[in-house]
């Protein structure tokens, strides 16, 4: 049996009696801690995946020790400038031992599930109605904007004649243009 649990912002795959290092946790050595952000539990025959967490599930652990990690050296240098800087850092960790993984998935009867679904349905209708009203208002605004855009702003624009349509050329015009083209070549 294993679980995937979120501990201090990181996800770990944990099993019973496993020791691991996590980012520094508050609490004294020997104290017990419980993690409720369980993302997945695999019991061997059944896999429970959370949405985003498995409801009612928890991982119990005991703080073994507070320790420092390995030293990380940070070296900065700018060439040809005589600048060098060396810094060191040791991250604080907590060693924990997993004592147990509990899955308390409460199976609800269908009658109570139907009762709980009814209020959710009414609650979801109200935001849906609000969204529909917003979209209707936006379409009304767009239609009003189009109507005002299509109306002439000045009377001078209304009096202007429409663009002239292209008139078909007469045969004599076509002959003249053909003669010009042949003369140019």
pLDDT in tens, the chain (185 residues): 999 999 999 999 999 999 999 999 999 999 999 999 999 999 989 999 999 999 999 999 999 999 999 999 999 999 999 999 999 999 999 999 999 999 875 443 344 444 444 455 444 556 767 777 777 777 777 777 766 665 555 555 555 555 555 666 566 666 666 666 666 55
d(CA 138, CA 135): 5
d(CA 75, CA 85): 6
Is the Cβ–Cβ distance between 72 and 88 less than 8 Å? yes
Nearest to 69 by CA among 97, 88, 92: 92
**Residue 32: what are its φ and ψ, rounded to 5°?**
-100, 140
CA dihedral for 44, 46, 49, 55, sign (positive or negative)? negative
Tokens of 81: 């400038």
Strands in 43-115 per DSSP E: 47-49, 58-78, 83-102
Which residue ranges make up each domain of the chain? 2-76+85-102, 108-143
Is the Cβ–Cβ distance between 84 and 77 less than 8 Å? yes
For residue 153, what is the enclosing H or E element? none
For residue 41, what is the enclosing H or E element? strand 38-42
Q: What is the pTM of this model?
A: 0.52
Give CA torsion, residues 15, 19, 20, 25, to 10 deg: 100
């Amino acid at each position: 049996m294993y679980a995937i649990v979120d501990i201090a912002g990181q996800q770990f795959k944990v099993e019973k009696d496993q020791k691991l290092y996590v980012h520094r946790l508050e609490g004294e050595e020997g104290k017990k801690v419980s993690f409720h952000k369980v993302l997945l539990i695999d019991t061997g025959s059944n896999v429970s995946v959370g949405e985003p967490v498995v409801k009612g599930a928890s991982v119990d652990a005991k703080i073994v020790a507070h320790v420092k990690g390995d030293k990380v050296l940070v070296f900065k240098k700018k060439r040809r400038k005589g600048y060098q800087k060396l810094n060191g850092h040791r991250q604080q960790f907590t060693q924990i031992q997993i004592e147990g993984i509990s899955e308390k998935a409460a199976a609800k009867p269908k009658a109570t599930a139907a009762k709980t679904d009814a209020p959710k349905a009414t609650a979801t209708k109200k935001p849906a109605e609000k969204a529909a009203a917003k979209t209707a208002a936006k379409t009304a605004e767009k239609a009003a904007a189009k109507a005002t855009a299509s109306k002439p702003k000045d009377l001078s624009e209304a009096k202007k004649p429409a663009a002239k349509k292209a008139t078909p050329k007469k045969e004599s015009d076509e002959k003249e243009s053909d003669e010009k083209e042949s003369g140019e070549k």
